[in-house]
């Protein structure tokens, strides 16, 4: 029966099978069983194969891309439920079969379809039906091989077995494949353990010899912070976090934020500090000085040219002042006015130091 919402034959999936091997795997297994009925049979090793192209698989599974189909197909092959062989000279074609022996006495398509629903694979229960887990259940060698391919140690698998059996016996669950259920249990537990270990490795307490990375220092220097200030901030930063005993994995990011805060406080303190001090050897006028001079129509290049003479003069005098920017403004204004004076003698202009008072 079809409706406008269901215009074609629906897929019928066993809930128990889907819970055992996975929903995607159950869907593909069902579709392959249908395709085996629709294509000419090739009997090999007492198994019913069909030659299926990628195009046929895509047509039967329009909700998946070809990579998705191949991914689920490989999963079924790993579980031992699906057999696949390449066809010589046909790169987009393969022989597919459900891993069960073909019964040559089947008299109808219905009989063949019924046989495909019973999956006698290495991961199924011996009876072919869902059953509770035995108290003495043991995984087979194939499971240890699959775990080894995932780099899961054998001793970890063996340690997980008692808890796995106890958990499922307490709940009285039945499964077609305890092999596959245990494999999922082991893989999931191993991944969680590895993730926790990686987190613990990344998160550690502050080492006593910690140093910021070259990238962190470079970022701070590009932000206009002097290298000396950065290096002086390291001991304080290390001591603070060692005393707190906090674990972390982003020490460089924390250090960058710490130095930036300290630098802002430092520069703000310098700007508001009126303590008299000698002129620094590397004195540079504040950019605001050039704005003030521009309002007096004094050329910025002219002002820049006065810096060396200004610094040298005050270094020789070894005097202290509260604001060297103010002194520099006076100096430049005087020199600008001086160059336009025509009534002074050369000696008067050379010996005049009224701008320094």
pLDDT tens profile 158-197 = 988 988 888 888 888 787 678 878 888 888 888 887 766 6
Which pLDDT tens digit goes with each residue over 302-343? Answer: 889 989 989 998 888 888 887 788 888 888 888 887 776 544
What integer pLDDT is reported at residue 315 of this predicted model?
A: 87
* Pairing between β-strand 90-98 and β-strand 82-87 as defined by DSSP bridges: antiparallel
Q: Which of 34, 50, 42 is nearest to 113 (CA)?
A: 34
* Span 284-295, average pLDDT: 82
pLDDT exceeds 70 at position 112: no
Length of the chain: 357
Q: From residue 147, how far is each of 23, 56, 63, 74, 133 by CA, in Å? A: 22, 33, 31, 16, 20
Predicted confidence at residue 272, as pLDDT, reads 61
Please enumerate, as own/partner, the contacts of 12-19 that have beta carbons within 8 Å and a separation of 24 or more.
14/117, 16/130, 16/174, 16/175, 16/176, 17/119, 17/176, 19/175
Please say whether the beta carbons of 97 and 140 come within 8 A: no
Q: Please state which architecture CATH assigns to domain 131-202.
A: Orthogonal Bundle (1.10)
Q: Which residues pair with 320 in a beta bridge?
A: 278
Residue 66 has φ and ψ, to the nearest 5°, of: -60, -40
The whole-angstrom separation of Cα 277 and Cα 35 is 92
Residue whose structure tokens are 């039906």: 129
* 49 pLDDT higher than 50: yes
- For residue 207, name the pLDDT band (cuts at 50, 70, 90): confident
99 touches 47 (CB < 8 A)? yes
For residue 111, the number of C-alpha atoms closer than 13 Å in the C-beta half-sphere is 7
Position 294 confidence tier, pLDDT thresholds 50, 70, 90: confident
Average pLDDT of the residues of the chain: 77
Q: Are 50 and 95 in contact (CB under 8 A)?
A: yes
Average pLDDT rounded to a whole number, residues 62-90: 84
**Ranges of each domain in the chain:** 15-116, 131-202, 205-272, 277-356
- The predicted pLDDT at position 5 comes to 53
Other Cβ atoms less than 10 A from the Cβ of 274: the count is 7
* pTM for the whole structure: 0.34
Query: pLDDT, tens digit, for every residue of 126-163?
Result: 444 578 888 899 988 888 888 887 788 888 899 889 88
Closest CA to 301 of 273, 332, 266, 271: 332
What's the pLDDT band for 120 if we cut at 50, 70, 90?
very low
Residue 115 has pLDDT above 50, yes or no: no
Tell me how far CA of residue 3 lies from CA of 8, 10, 249, in angstroms. Answer: 8, 11, 58
Closest CA to 230 of 259, 265, 267: 259
Work out the pLDDT band at 352, boundaries 50, 70, 90: low
Question: Which residues are 167's β-sheet partners?
Answer: none
pLDDT above 80 (res 245): no
CATH class, range 15-116: mainly alpha
């Amino acid at each position: 029966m079809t409706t406008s919402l269901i215009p074609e034959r629906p897929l019928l999936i066993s809930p128990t099978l889907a819970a055992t091997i996975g929903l995607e795997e159950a869907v593909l297994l069902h579709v392959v069983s249908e395709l085996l009925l629709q294509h000419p049979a090739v009997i090999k090793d007492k198994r019913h194969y069909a030659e299926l192209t990628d195009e046929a698989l895509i047509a039967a599974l329009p909700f998946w891309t070809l990579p998705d189909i191949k991914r689920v197909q490989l999963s079924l092959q790993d579980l031992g439920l699906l057999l696949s062989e390449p066809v010589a000279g046909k790169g987009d074609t393969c022989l597919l079969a459900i891993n069960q022996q073909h019964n040559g006495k089947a008299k109808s398509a219905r009989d063949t379809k019924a046989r495909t629903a019973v999956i006698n694979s290495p991961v199924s229960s011996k009876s072919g039906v869902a059953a509770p887990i035995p108290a003495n259940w043991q995984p087979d060698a194939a499971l240890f091989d699959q775990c080894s391919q995932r780099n899961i140690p054998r001793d970890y698998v063996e340690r997980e077995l008692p808890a796995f059996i106890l958990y499922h016996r307490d709940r009285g669950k039945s499964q077609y494949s305890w092999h596959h259920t245990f494999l999922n249990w082991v893989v999931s537990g191993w991944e969680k353990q590895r993730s926790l270990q990686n987190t613990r490795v990344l998160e550690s307490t502050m080492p006593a010899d910690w140093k910021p990375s070259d990238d962190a220092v470079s970022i701070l220097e590009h932000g206009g912070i002097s290298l000396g200030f950065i290096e002086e901030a390291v001991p304080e930063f290390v001591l603070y976090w060692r005393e707190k005993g906090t674990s972390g994995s982003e020490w460089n990011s924390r250090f960058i934020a710490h130095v930036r805060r300290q630098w802002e406080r430092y520069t703000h303190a310098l700007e508001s500090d009126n303590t008299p001090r000698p002129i620094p050897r590397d004195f540079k006028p504040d950019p605001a000085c050039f704005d003030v001079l521009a309002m007096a129509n004094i050329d910025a290049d002219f002002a820049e040219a006065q810096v060396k003479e200004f610094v040298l003069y005050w270094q020789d005098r070894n005097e202290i002042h509260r604001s060297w920017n103010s002194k520099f403004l006076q100096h430049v204004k005087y020199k600008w006015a001086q160059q336009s004076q025509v009534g002074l003698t050369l000696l008067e202009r050379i010996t005049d130091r009224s701008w320094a008072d």
